[in-house]
Amino acid sequence: MNVAEKVSDICPECGNEILINDAFRGEIICNACGLVIKQHLINSGVDWRAFNSEDKAKKVRIGAPTNLMQYDKGLNTVIGKSNRDAKGNKISPKMIGEIKRLRTWNKRSMIYTPKEKNLAEAMTQLDRISSQMNLPKYLKESSAHIYRKVMHLAKGRSIEAIVIASIYTACKINNVPKIIEDFLEFTAIEKKKLARCYRLVFRELKLNLNASSPLSYIPKFAANLNLSENTKNRATKILNLAKKYRLTAGKTPAGLAGGALYFAALQEGERRTQKEISLAAGVTEATIRKRYKELTKYIDHEIEKAKDNRSLKNCDEILQFRIIFWGPSKSGKTSNFKLLQKKFSSMNLTKGYSIETTNGSTLWHDSQYILLKFEIEDTKYGVIIQIVTVPALENFSVARRRILEGADGVIFIGDSDPSKMEQNKQSFQELINTIGHLRVPINVQLNKRDLDNAISLDIFKRILNLPNEIKYPDGSLVVYPVCALEGEKVLKCFKDLILKVIFNYFKD
């Protein structure tokens, strides 16, 4: 039966909007003048109806999909093993002998070139190793895709080593927590050689990967060490604190996870030796000891320091938040930072630090801890707030993403100079893309309102796609017009954000 349906479009010949889509012929026809507008269309509908597997096999009109796990992607021609003809009748003994010879030569002719031999061996090894490690199908295909890109590196090297390097790279790309030591159980190749091959693959593909999060290793290591959920949760909290205090930068994720688990196990009374932790994490005992000492020395010191502070001595609970100042270069982030540092001078926990270039740009982020307190229903809370400004230089994009991790609130600082509007837009878009789906409150501040040619708030809102209102329903301003050098409304913007952060904390 000819299946046709009306589609909405315009005929180029007569301008008629009613066209007919003839799925049987694969054509789109004008209903008025009969012009064939498109032809040879692919039918994307379902295959023929079938009520059992035999009926489906007879009516199927397409072949199997391509498979990267096969050296020829599954596109080769295979002579079936059944000794029956097309009608299902048995073939003669003489014909069976000829078919067997044809099968043999067909199999020999499949792998002919050195490239095909290389791929056949590599895909066999990849299937073996990934099956032994219980890797999912998508990871196998990703590994096969990577190997096809770097297979020329196997010349003069072990094919198996390059295959393992490809699997390890795929794990890194897909954020699957694996370490080199996980592969040693399934190969006789040395760890040093595997690491060298991984570096070759990494450089060949010119990858730009973020370091794995140590949090992703906690479940795996805890399961290997038979630790309880309480220990896992405590280790996770320790690592989150380490991120806020910037202890994770430049450290091996597996080593950090091992150190945090050792720390948490001691606190929960599930003692594990450093040797047991090091074997599970694939790092040395010295690394576990070093990470443990760093975590205990810094985190315990900061928390105890806050508890001993006079302003927090009588608090029932201590909260910790991280506020980020974000914005384009020279928009006034450091000026905001210094103003707040001055305003809260009596409540500063640390002196803060900053490294700047000769032209005034922040080369490395400023950091400052301040202490606040409040009371809700006879419960006294102390708040430790870390204020951090991000470097706006282009080559610090990775650093900005890392600094934003663990943020509880963000203040975006725009520049009122009309010539900086494109920079404002790019910086704000980068912030939104980096935060993603995270529910982090953002206050927008427009600095340098004392400029003679300062851009209007309405234009600034339109450029950043902000609501064309003065205030949000919670009473906070959509945009805070400030002059950071004079301190106008800087404190109000900061206080409003702190209120949002505290509200989110109790809401969660």
Percent of the chain with pLDDT over 90: 10
- Out of 16-30, 116-130, 420-434, least confident range: 16-30
pLDDT band, very low/low/confident/very high, at 200 (cuts 50, 70, 90):
very high
Task: Give the fold, CATH level 3, of 214-308.
Answer: Cyclin A; domain 1 (1.10.472)
- Taking alpha carbons only, the member of 319, 295, 296 closest to residue 385 is 319
Can you give the pLDDT at residue 365?
46
- Alpha-carbon radius of gyration of the chain: 32
pLDDT band, very low/low/confident/very high, at 308 (cuts 50, 70, 90):
low
Q: Is it true that 114-205 and 214-308 share their CATH fold? A: yes
Distance CA 389, CA 369 (A): 12
Distance CA 488, CA 335 (A): 12
Can you give the pLDDT at residue 280?
87
Q: Is the pLDDT of residue 484 over 60?
A: yes
Can you give the pLDDT at residue 412?
93
Helix, strand, or coil here: 353? Answer: strand
Span 182-203, mean pLDDT?
Answer: 90
Distance CA 34, CA 11 (A): 10
Distance CA 484, CA 448 (A): 7
Q: Is 90 exposed, middle or buried, given 0-12, 13-18 or 19+ CB atoms closer than 10 A?
A: exposed
What's the pLDDT tens digit per position in 136-151?
Answer: 988 999 999 999 999 8
Helix or strand holding residue 243 (H, E): helix 229-244
Give yes or no for a contact between 27 and 7, defined as CB atoms under 8 angstroms apart.
Answer: no
pLDDT band, very low/low/confident/very high, at 35 (cuts 50, 70, 90):
confident
Give yes or no for a contact between 183 and 126, defined as CB atoms under 8 angstroms apart.
Answer: no
Kindly write down the DSSP assignment for every residue of 169-224, as one continuous string: HHHHHTT----GGGGGGG--S-HHHHHHHHHHHHHHHT--PPPPPGGGGHHHHHHH
Strand partners, 488: 483
Span 29-33, mean pLDDT?
Answer: 86
Residue 272 CB partners (closer than 8 Å, separation 6+): 225, 227, 261, 262, 265
Q: Is the pLDDT of residue 306 over 70?
A: no
Please state, as a whole number, how many other Cβ atoms lie within 10 Å of the Cβ of residue 93: 8
Can you give the pLDDT at residue 364?
45
Can you give the pLDDT at residue 41?
80
Can you give the pLDDT at residue 355?
45
CATH architecture type of domain 314-507: 3-Layer(aba) Sandwich (3.40)
Domain spans of the chain?
A: 1-63, 114-205, 214-308, 314-507
Distance CA 383, CA 381 (A): 6
Distance CA 109, CA 342 (A): 80
Q: Is the pLDDT of residue 488 over 80?
A: no
Can you give the pLDDT at residue 449?
87
Q: Is the pLDDT of residue 119 over 60?
A: yes
Can you give the pLDDT at residue 1?
36
Alpha carbon of 88 to those of 52, 83, 91, 279, 481: distances in Å?
Answer: 18, 9, 9, 59, 84
Span 478-495, mean pLDDT?
Answer: 83
Can you give the pLDDT at residue 105?
79
Question: HSE of 362 in the Cβ direction (CA atoms, 13 Å)?
Answer: 28
What's the pLDDT tens digit per position in 153-187?
Answer: 888 889 999 999 999 999 988 888 888 888 888 88
Percent of the chain with pLDDT over 70: 82
Q: Is the pLDDT of residue 430 over 80?
A: yes
Most confident of the following: 171-185, 228-242, 298-312, 414-428: 414-428
Q: Is the pLDDT of residue 314 over 50?
A: yes
Span 252-279, mean pLDDT?
Answer: 85
User: Would you mind telling me the total number of residues written for the chain in this entry?
Assistant: 508
Kindly write down the DSSP assignment for every residue of 284-328, as one continuous string: -HHHHHHHHHHHIIIIIHHHHHHHHSGGGTT-SEEEEEEEEEE-S
Q: Is the pLDDT of residue 110 over 80?
A: no
Span 77-103, mean pLDDT?
Answer: 80
Strand partners, 356: 362
Mean pLDDT for the chain?
80
Residue 321 CB partners (closer than 8 Å, separation 6+): 383, 384, 385, 386, 408, 409, 498, 501, 502, 505
Span 250-273, mean pLDDT?
Answer: 84
Name the more confident of 472 and 353.
Answer: 472
- Taking alpha carbons only, the member of 276, 354, 293, 326 closest to residue 431 is 326
Distance CA 331, CA 272 (A): 50
CATH architecture type of domain 1-63: Single Sheet (2.20)
What's the pLDDT tens digit per position in 212-244?
Answer: 788 888 988 888 888 888 888 888 888 887 877
Alpha carbon of 207 to those of 123, 248, 423, 460: distances in Å?
Answer: 23, 21, 27, 37
Give the full edge-to-edge strand order of the sheet including 36-38.
4-8, 18-22, 27-30, 36-38
Helix or strand holding residue 431 (H, E): helix 421-435
Give yes or no for a contact between 355 and 337, defined as CB atoms under 8 angstroms apart.
Answer: no
Distance CA 381, CA 372 (A): 8
* 357-361, long-range: CB < 8 A, 24+ apart: 360/330, 361/329, 361/330, 361/391, 361/392, 361/393
pLDDT band, very low/low/confident/very high, at 475 (cuts 50, 70, 90):
confident
Alpha carbon of 79 to those of 39, 49, 348: distances in Å?
Answer: 35, 27, 79
pLDDT band, very low/low/confident/very high, at 508 (cuts 50, 70, 90):
low
Strand partners, 357: none
Q: And the tokens for 502?
A: 């505290």
Q: And the tokens for 275?
A: 């040797």
Which is the CATH superfamily of the domain at 114-205? Cyclin-like (1.10.472.10)
Can you give the pLDDT at residue 434?
83
Distance CA 382, CA 398 (A): 33
Can you give the pLDDT at residue 45?
62
Most confident of the following: 43-52, 105-114, 395-404, 453-462: 453-462
- Out of 323-337, 351-365, 422-436, least confident range: 351-365
What's the pLDDT tens digit per position in 356-387?
Answer: 444 555 444 455 666 666 666 677 777 778 88
Helix, strand, or coil here: 374? Answer: strand
